Amino acid sequence: MTRIILILVSLLFLSALLFAPLAVVFASAFENGLGAWFQSFTDSDTGAAIRLTLLTAAIVVPLNTLFGVCAAWCIAKFEFPGKSMLITLIDLPMAVSPVVSGLIYVLLFGAQGWFGAWLQEHDISIIFAVPGIVIATMFVTFPYVARELIPLMQQLGNDEEEAAITLGAGGWFTFFHVTLPRIRWGLLYGVILCNARAMGEFGAVSVVSGHIRGLTNTMPLHIEALYQDYSMSGAFAVASLLSLLAVVTLIIKTLLEWRMGVHHR
Amino acid sequence: MSITLEQVTKRYQGQPVVNDVSLTVAEGEFFVLLGPSGSGKSTLLRAIAGLVDIDDGTIALHGSDVTHVGARQRGVGFVFQHYALFRHLTIADNIEFALRVRRMKAADRRERRKELLKLVALEGMDERLPAQLSGGQQQRVAVARALAHKPQVLLLDEPFGALDAKIREELRWTIRRVQRELGITTVLVTHDQEEAFALADRIGVMNLGRLLEVGAPRDLYARPTTRFVATFLGAANLLLALQGAEGIRLGTTPVDATVRTPALTGREHEVVTVLRPEEVEMAAEREQLTTSYMGRATVEELQFTGALERLRLKLLDNQHAVQTTGNGAEGRIEATRLQSERRAMPLAVGAVVALGARRMHVLPTPLSSFSIHAADEAAAQLLAQAPLLETLAGRMKTRVATCADASDGAPNARPGVAVIEGSDGAALRAVQLLRAGANEVLLLSPSTTLPEQICMFWLDDAARHATMAVTASLLRHLPAEAVCVATAPAGRRDAKRANALRALLDARSEARAAHALETRTELVPGEGPQALGEYLAGLSAPLLVLGTADITTAEAALGALLARRPGMPVLVVYRESAR
């Protein structure tokens, strides 16, 4: 009896807080039919926002993947001074509010910032431009790959890599033929989480972007702009697209979790 | 020589885990490194493979120095405890890995793979994944994989550690057969002495980072030279006996014992003897024994272990003279006997039997036990708790006796190393003990901790050998740096200096050859004990082993040294010069 009540309460909460908003997003998006939904994306500003989001993710995700693998490798395989410091630093973006993360870069690269004068002299714009958005997104999504890989690599140990080396394999050969196949599912999982956050980030990007339509608005920022303009159908259409990406991400994540479970057994 | 290690040292955070190990392994030899966990044996093996960088020393494979060559280029075959198979690759791909790295043609690779799978009796397993194989099969694949590129050296790190007893045995045969067939130089690391006996041409026993003894299994078992090897290789009763001109006696009973080293001095002195459990004879009465009588004992414990019966006996008489060490309890003797012997004379717990020793072996170690000489019992107890003495006695598994001396009279020397407090007048007391018959006197204070350097210095050349033997014995139990010190007057007299230097280097090679003791040498400018005192004052935590053949000079030197650095632990080694 208690079990049934507990399950009911959980389901009620889930539907109220998760399913209902999702349903509203899709219902509102398709309110005026499929045609109107597609119509929303013909707007040039919307197109630009989607392209910018994809571009940001395309730059940020590979870079953070590379960084994550390197950092996880260092932490899992070597002992060095400042190791615990590095682990703490990797976690920093998760602890800091995204707005603060954005502000850091404004303070660094903004017109009144530390490097502001120098950047202006050399005619380089970072804040209120694409580079700022990329940097801020990168900062926020820093930990995802590394966090996923560190425990995995620590658990796997060094034996197989050492075996490969005694068998005559070089560093790259060992990485691609031994290490990478072992960590691939964990890595992919980290990459997907990183991608989801990169596409959906609002706070940090909002601070550094300047909200210039068609230029520095990413999808989340564009949704807000459309909403502020009372362009409900447009806002919900873009929102549904973003939600769709999130749902697909979750499905891949679930599949991966299942795959990793099989792999570990 | 296939593998040559010279003075290899590896430190982790300043602590040596492999300490001054020198070793040669011959072509085609099966060498087993045996030691408890944490003895440094795995680290040494990984150093040979190049997986661990060493801090000092050189490693040569087939005559070429590979100390600074990476693991990849050394090309040895390495088998890990947990197999370390590539889990995502099939057995075929695992075995061919080294060949793919070397860009061998697919057809040749396949041929070699078939050959190897046949060698380890796993034909037809090519397309399986490692997870589909049993532990024993996986380890056989690992052996095949390590042999794929035809390495000249095969290294195995506890290869049977993760397997159960039956498979362990089977795999042992496989590895021995493969090694014989290929004639490949092999080094295997294990903590299991039975495994070492079954596989090895020669065994090297390691403890606390040092390679203690190397030899054929039979020799090491029958004639160990250190306590550690005696007790680690099979079970052993360590008994304290007295060696005199007439031979060895246990208490009042003379016994037959194999003595490899002649008596250390003319005086009767205490020695450590090894009595294997299977060499203990039991009879109802003393008259029925066919071997030397040791004493009567009661059966305390009986254990059935299949082929053998194990007994733990408590000596009834002769108990104080026969001090047993090694199995934790004083006066206890461990014995084993065959089922046929058991049937001939069934015993129950509580039965009283006469014990005989069929064969005993005298360890050449110069340090047997400790006797603390103090003014009263309380002071003796305080001294017994000195960290240095407690650690040393614990690791040597030996007795620390205490005796209160009459404060006015001359002390009576007891067997073993005499221990006194290194306070005022210690030099005089040490000398009194030497005169009274002690061969070694240890001076320390209740707060003496473990030394970082053990320095040896002899006042007379006649005491050189004994000083080295004692130092070597200490170093087997204490992880310290060994320094061989000599003094030579500074300045123009070059000939004298050169002589001193030559003597020092000779001493070093003697220490190495005769005692397997690796030392650093230090030539101190100045004259005798004064210069030595100055040198010792500059060390962080020295222990001095001071050899002498003349009691009078020893007193003066000891007085000067203790005045320069009061409280420093000193072990005086006295040997009458042969006249």
Among B211, B217, B167, B175, residue whose Cα is nearest residue B194: B217
- More confident position, B319 or B513: B513
Distances (CA, A) of B161 to B48, B77, B229: 20, 18, 21
Is B41 in contact with B156 (CB distance < 8 Å)?
A: no
Residue B253, pLDDT > 80, answer no
Mean of all residue pLDDT scores within chain B = 86
* Strands (DSSP E) found in B74-233: 77-79, 153-157, 185-190, 202-207, 210-215
Choose which CATH entry (3.40.640.10, 3.10.180.10, 3.40.50.720, 2.40.50.100) describes domain B235-362: 2.40.50.100
Residue B545 contacts residue B471 (beta carbons within 8 Å)? yes
Q: Note which residues in 122-161 of chain A have CB less than 8 A from chain B.
A: 159-160
Per CATH, the number for B3-228 is 3.40.50.300
pLDDT the model gives residue A189: 87
- Provide the residue ranges of all domains of chain A, joining segments of one domain with +: 40-264
Whether B239 contacts B323, CB under 8 Å: yes
Integer CA distances (angstroms), B174 to B82, B273, B502, in order: 18, 38, 51
| Contact list, A162 vs chain B (CB under 8 Å) | 51, 71, 78, 80, 84
pLDDT one-digit tens code per residue, A169-195: 988 999 999 999 889 888 988 998 899
Predicted pLDDT at B80: 93
As a whole number of Å, the CA-based R_g of chain B is 27
pLDDT of residue A10 exceeding 80: yes
- Site of tokens 């005298």: B362
Rounded average pLDDT over A201-212: 87
The residue of chain A nearest to residue B51, with distances taken between CA atoms, is A162
CATH number for the domain whose boundaries are B370-574: 3.40.50.12370
| Percentage of residues of chain B with pLDDT beyond 70 | 92
Question: Looking at the complex, does the CB of residue A162 fall below 8 Å from at least one CB of chain B?
Answer: yes
Say if B3-228 and B370-574 have the same CATH topology. Answer: yes
* B chain contacts of residue A81, beta-carbon cutoff 8 Å: none
* B525 touches B487 (CB < 8 A): yes
* Residues of B in Cβ contact (< 8 Å) with A168: 72, 75, 98, 101-102, 149
Residue A107 near residue A101, CB atoms below 8 Å: no
* Domain segments of chain B as ranges: 3-228, 235-362, 370-574
Measured CA angle at B237 (ends B235, B243), to 5 deg? 140
Edge-to-edge strand list for the sheet holding B3-12: B15-25, B3-12, B56-61, B64-65
Task: Indicate if the pLDDT at residue B326 is higher than 60.
Answer: no
CA distances from B533 to A36, B422, B527, B565 (A): 98, 15, 10, 7
Which residues, 6 or more positions from B461, have their beta carbon under 8 angstroms from its beta carbon?
Answer: none
What is the per-residue pLDDT across B173-195, written as a single tens digit (0 to 9) for each? 989 999 999 999 999 999 999 89
Among B82, B88, B149, select the one facing A167 at the smallest CB separation: B149
Cα–Cα nearest to B251, from B352, B353, B355: B355
Name the residue in chain A with its Cα closest to that of B131.
Answer: A265
Provide the shortest C-alpha distance from residue B194 to chain A (in Å). Answer: 27
Given this model, what pLDDT does residue A32 score?
Answer: 82
Cβ(A213)–Cβ(A224) below 8 Å: no
Give yes or no for residue B268 having a pLDDT over 80: no
Report residue B455 as tokens: 């320095």
- Whether B72 has its CB under 8 Å from any CB of chain A: the answer is yes
B372-403: pLDDT as tens digits: 888 888 888 888 889 999 888 888 878 788 87
Complex ipTM value:
0.75
What is the C-alpha separation between B367 and B389, in angstroms, rounded? 13
Residues of chain B contacting residue A177, judged by C-beta atoms under 8 Å apart = 86, 97
Q: With 50 as the cut, is the pLDDT of residue B39 above it?
A: yes
- Collect all residues with Cβ–Cβ distance below 8 Å to A171 and sequence separation of at least 6: none
Question: Using N-to-C axis directions, what is the helix angle for A44-77 and A232-264, rounded to 10°?
Answer: 30
Query: Cα B478–B480–B541 angle (5° rounding)?
Result: 110
Residue A264 confidence (pLDDT) above 60? no
pLDDT range class, residue B325, cuts 50, 70, 90: low
Mean pLDDT for the stretch of residues A102-111: 86
Say whether A165 and B51 touch across the interface (CB within 8 A): yes
CB-closest option in B84, B86, B98 to A168: B98
Average pLDDT for residues B517-540, to the nearest whole number? Answer: 86
pLDDT tens digits for range B145-161: 999 999 999 999 999 88
pLDDT in tens, B94-111: 999 999 999 999 999 999
Q: Which fold has domain A40-264?
A: MetI-like fold (1.10.3720)
Residues 6+ apart with CB under 8 A from B269: B242, B243, B244, B263, B368, B415, B439
Contact of B487 with B528, CB cutoff 8 Å: yes
pLDDT over 90 at B23, yes or no: yes
CA A135/CA B208 separation, integer angstroms: 53
Any A CB within 8 A of B77 CB: yes
Q: Does the pLDDT of residue B408 top 60, yes or no?
A: no
Instruction: Give the closest residue to B322 by CA, choosing from B241, B394, B418, B398.
Output: B241
B495 vs B4, which has greater pLDDT?
B4
Tell me how many residue pairs between chain A and chain B have CB atoms under 8 A apart: 63
- What separation, in Å, do the N-terminal and C-terminal C-alpha atoms of chain A show? 35
* H/E element, B220: helix B217-222
SS3 B77: strand
